[in-house]
Structure 1
Amino acid sequence: MKKIIRTIIWCLVGLFVIYTFYFLWKQSQPEPEVYELVLPQKRDIQKTTVATGKLSARREVSVKPQITGVITKVLVKPGDRVTAGQEVAHIRVIPDMSQLNSAQTAIESARIELNEQQREWDRTKRLYEKGVISTEEYQQYETRLKAAREKLTAAEAAYEVVTKGASRRSGTINTTIVTSPMSGIVLNVPVKEGSSVSATSMFSDGTTICTVADMSDVLFKGHIDETEVARLRVGMETTLVLGAMQEVKVPATLEYISPEGVEQNGVTKFEVWAAASIPDGVDIRSGYSVNARVVTEEHKGVLSIDEASVVFDADSAFVYRLTSSPEDLSSQEWERIPVKVGISNGIYVEILQGVNAEDHLRGIKK
C-alpha cells in the first residue's frame, strides 16, 4: 500500500515539474504583434501653411492737439464710437514765453508802422487835395496804409492764438477744442484731466490724446517662415482663427507679401497682410492674436491613407500590405511594397501608385 502511495506522489511531483517548465516556456514566448487594419479611402486633401499675427484696423489715427496746454475735459473713453469732427477733449492754453514775447513784439512793431503810414497818408492827402501830387502817388500811400492796418490785425490775431488758442479772424476754428478726424472706435485714451499736452511740431510728435480706428475695415498682419513664403500668392483665400474665439472662422484674402524678410530669433520671416471679412454679429477687437491658415494646394476625391501607415526610407515610401486573412489576427503576415505619395495634410497622405481601395494595410500597433 505504501508503495502505491509513493508512486502516486512521485507522479504528482513529476506532473508539477513538467507543468512548471511548460509555464515558463509559455511566458518566454513573445506575444504575436497585432496591428490595426487600414483601408485606403477617397478624401479631399489640403496642404496648408500657417502665419501668426494680430488683427488691426486698416485706418487708425492718433489724435493730437495743435497747441500746448493742459487738458481741462476728456469727452471720450475707450470703446466709444465717434464721428468725424466730434469733440474728444478741451485744452486750456499755456502760452510759451518765447512765442508770447514774439507775438507782443510783432504787435508793437505793426502799431508803430501803422502810425508812421497814417502820418504819411495824412500828409499825402493834403498835398493831393491841393493838386501838388498825382493820383497815382496818392494811391500808393493809401495802399501802404491798408497794408500796415492788415499787418497789425494779423499780429493781434497771432497773439490771440498764442494766449487763447483761437482768434476772431479764424471764425469757427478753435484749437482749444480737439476733434476726431475720422469716424470709428476709440481704442485708448492715454491722458486724463489735468495732463499737460504738447502740440505737434517739426521737433516733436506731440502728445496723443486718443487713438481712433475704423474697425469695419480690419487687416490681419503677421509673419510667415521663409520656407513657406514661396508658396503664397496675393489673392489667396485665407481662414483666420482667433485665439480668443476658437470657434469663429473669419474669411480673408491675402493682399500683401513683403519683398524683404526680417530675422526673428535666428529665423527669417516675411510680413504678410490679409483683408478680413468680419461675419455679422462678431465683435472684433484690435490686437486679437490670430493664426492665418492658407490653403496652398488642394486635391479632391483622391485615394489616401493615414500618414502613420507609410514608412519613409531615404527618398522612397513603403507600406505593409496584409497577405493573410483579415479575420486571423493572431498570425498577421505582411509584405512590404513601394508606393508613390502625393500631398499630405499631416494626418492623411495621398497615394498615387502602389495600392488600391481593397488592400488591407498595416496601421498602428494595438
Structure 2
Amino acid sequence: MNKYLKYSLIGILVLGALWAAAFFIKSNSKSAITYETQKPFITNIEKKTVATGKVVPEDEIEIKPQISGIIDKIYLEEGVKVKAGDLIAVIKVVPNEQSLNQARGRVRNAELALNNIKIEYNRNKSLFDKGVISSQDFNSLQLQYDQAQQELSNAQADYQIIRRGSAGGSTTANTNIRATVDGTILEIPVEEGDQVIQSNNFNDGTTIATIADLSKMIFEGKVDEGEVAKLQIGTPLKISLGAVEGKELDAKLRFIAPKGVEETGAVQFKIEGDVEIQEDVFIRAGYSANASMVLEKKDSVMVIPEALLQFDKKTDKPYVEVAVGNVEDQKFERKDIEIGISDGVNVEIVSGITEEDLVKQWNKTEPIKKGEDGDEDGDEGSEDSEE
C-alpha cells in the first residue's frame, strides 16, 4: 500500500510540474508590453523656419566734418532726438603753419600789386579826364586795376579759411557740426579734444555722430540655402526680440540676397524685412531677433504625430505599424507610407493609410531588441516578435 501511495504522490508531483510549466510558457508567450494606438486626423499644417539676426534702423547717417581740426565742444548726447540743423558740436581749427605762411605771402603780394596798379590807374585817370589818352587805353588799365582788387580779395579769403576754417558768413557751415536729418543720435564716437579729419576724395573723414530714425526699422538675418528657394518677397514674418519678452512684431520680407556667404561649412543668404513698430514697444538699434516665416502651408490634410513614424533601416523609407483585428490582440502589420510636409510635431500622410487605421504608438520605455547579428535592430526585432 505504501508502494502505491508513493507512486501516486510522484505522479501528482509530475503532473503538477507539467501544469506549472505549461502555465508559465502560456503566460510568457503574451507580450509584456501593451501598445496604444492613434488614428490619423485632419488639420492644417505649416512648415516654418526661423532666421536669426538683429533689428537695425533702415538708414544710419554718419555726420562728418568739412574741415580738419579739434573738437572744441560737444552739445548733445547719445539717445537725444534731433531735428535737421540742430547743433551737435563745434570744431576749433588748427591751421598748418606752412599753408598759413604761404597764404599770408599771397595776401602781401596781392597788396603790392594792387598798390602799384592803383598809382598807375590814378595817373592815367587824370590824363584820360584831360583827353590825353584814348578811352581804349584807359579801359584796359581799369580792367587791370579791378583784377588786382579781386586777387587781393581772394588771397585774403584763402588766408581766413586756413586761419579760421572759413571766410566771412560761411564760418557756421564749416566749424559748427549740425544734424543733417531728423532722428535719434545713436553714437558720438569722439570726445572733446579729439582731432578730426575732414571728408575728402582720399579719406572718409572722422565720424562725429551717427543719426537714425528709430521709427523705421528693418530685420537683418540669414537663412540656409536649403530654405532660401522657398522664400518670396512679401512673405509675412513674425519677429521676436530677445530683449522684449512676450511681444511679436509683424514684418514683411523685402530683400533676399542673390549671393550666399559660406559660414561654418554652410551657405547662408542675407534677408531683410520691414518691421512694423508698435507704439508701446521701444526698439533699440541692434536688438537680437528671430524671424519666423512660413515656407509651406496646407489646409485640411491628414496627419499623424511624427513620433509614430518608423524608417526602414535599409531603404530609409517611412512606415508605420497598423493594428490588425481587435486592438486587444496587440497584433500589428507594417504599412509603407508616403509623407509630405512636417511642422516638427505632426507630419502629412500622402498615402499608405486611411483615417480609420489604428497606428501603433511606440512606447518610450520599450527595450531595444537585437537581431541575429547582435546589432541593435528594434524594427526587425519587433516584427519577429509579433510574428
TM-score scaled by length of structure 2: 0.80
Alignment of 1:1-366 (within 5 A): 32-170=32-170, 173-313=172-312, 314=315, 316-326=317-327, 328=328, 331-366=329-364
- Aligned partners of 1:356, 1:108: CA distance in 2, in Å? 103
Q: 1:144 to 1:234 in 2, by over 3 A?
A: farther
> What is the CA distance between 1:23 and its match in structure 2?
12
Q: Which amino acid aligns with 2:242?
A: G
Q: Which amino acid aligns with 2:323?
A: L
- Aligned partners of 1:36, 1:233: CA distance in 2, in Å? 42
Which range moves more in the overlay, 82-91 or 253-262? 253-262
Q: Is the 8 A contact 1:72 1:194 kept in 2?
A: yes
> What is the CA distance between 1:298 and its match in structure 2?
0.9
> What is the CA distance between 1:53 and its match in structure 2?
1.8
Per-residue CA distance 1:293-351 (angstroms, 9 max, x = gap): 2212111222211112122333633222222544x3xx522221122222112221112
Q: Which amino acid aligns with 1:33?
A: I
- Aligned partners of 2:234, 2:105: CA distance in 1, in Å? 61
> What is the CA distance between 1:167 and its match in structure 2?
2.3
Q: Is the 8 A contact 1:323 1:333 kept in 2?
A: yes
- Aligned partners of 2:169, 2:130: CA distance in 1, in Å? 39
SS at match of 2:221: strand
Q: Is the 8 A contact 1:69 1:198 kept in 2?
A: yes
Residue aligning to 2:373: none
- Aligned partners of 2:73, 2:258: CA distance in 1, in Å? 46
Residue aligning to 1:4: none
- Aligned partners of 2:150, 2:30: CA distance in 1, in Å? 109
SS at match of 2:239: strand
Q: Which has the higher contact order (CA 8 A, sep 6+)?
A: 1
> What is the CA distance between 1:246 and its match in structure 2?
4.4
> What is the CA distance between 1:165 and its match in structure 2?
2.6
- Aligned partners of 1:23, 1:95: CA distance in 2, in Å? 110
Which structure 2 segments of 5+ residues have no match?
A: 1-12, 365-387
- Aligned partners of 2:23, 2:77: CA distance in 1, in Å? 81
Q: Is the 8 A contact 1:165 1:174 kept in 2?
A: no
Q: Is the 8 A contact 1:319 1:362 kept in 2?
A: yes
Q: 1:325 to 1:207 in 2, by over 3 A?
A: same
SS at match of 2:92: strand
Q: 1:316 to 1:168 in 2, by over 3 A?
A: same
Q: 1:169 to 1:190 in 2, by over 3 A?
A: closer
Which range moves more in the overlay, 180-189 or 97-106? 97-106
Q: 1:252 to 1:120 in 2, by over 3 A?
A: farther
Q: 1:157 to 1:305 in 2, by over 3 A?
A: same
> What is the CA distance between 1:54 and its match in structure 2?
1.7
SS at match of 2:257: strand
SS at match of 2:148: helix
- Aligned partners of 1:169, 1:83: CA distance in 2, in Å? 23
Q: 1:34 to 1:122 in 2, by over 3 A?
A: farther
RMSD over aligned Cα, in angstroms?
3.1
> What is the CA distance between 1:31 and its match in structure 2?
5.9
- Aligned partners of 1:30, 1:158: CA distance in 2, in Å? 106
Q: 1:121 to 1:363 in 2, by over 3 A?
A: farther
> What is the CA distance between 1:221 and its match in structure 2?
1.8
Per-residue CA distance 1:92-143 (angstroms, 9 max, x = gap): 2211223323322332232233223323322332332232333344333323
Q: 1:118 to 1:282 in 2, by over 3 A?
A: same
Identity, % of aligned positions: 36
Q: 1:165 to 1:297 in 2, by over 3 A?
A: same
Q: Is the 8 A contact 1:157 1:169 kept in 2?
A: no
SS at match of 1:365: coil
Which structure 1 segments of 5+ residues have no match?
A: 1-12
TM-score scaled by length of structure 1: 0.84
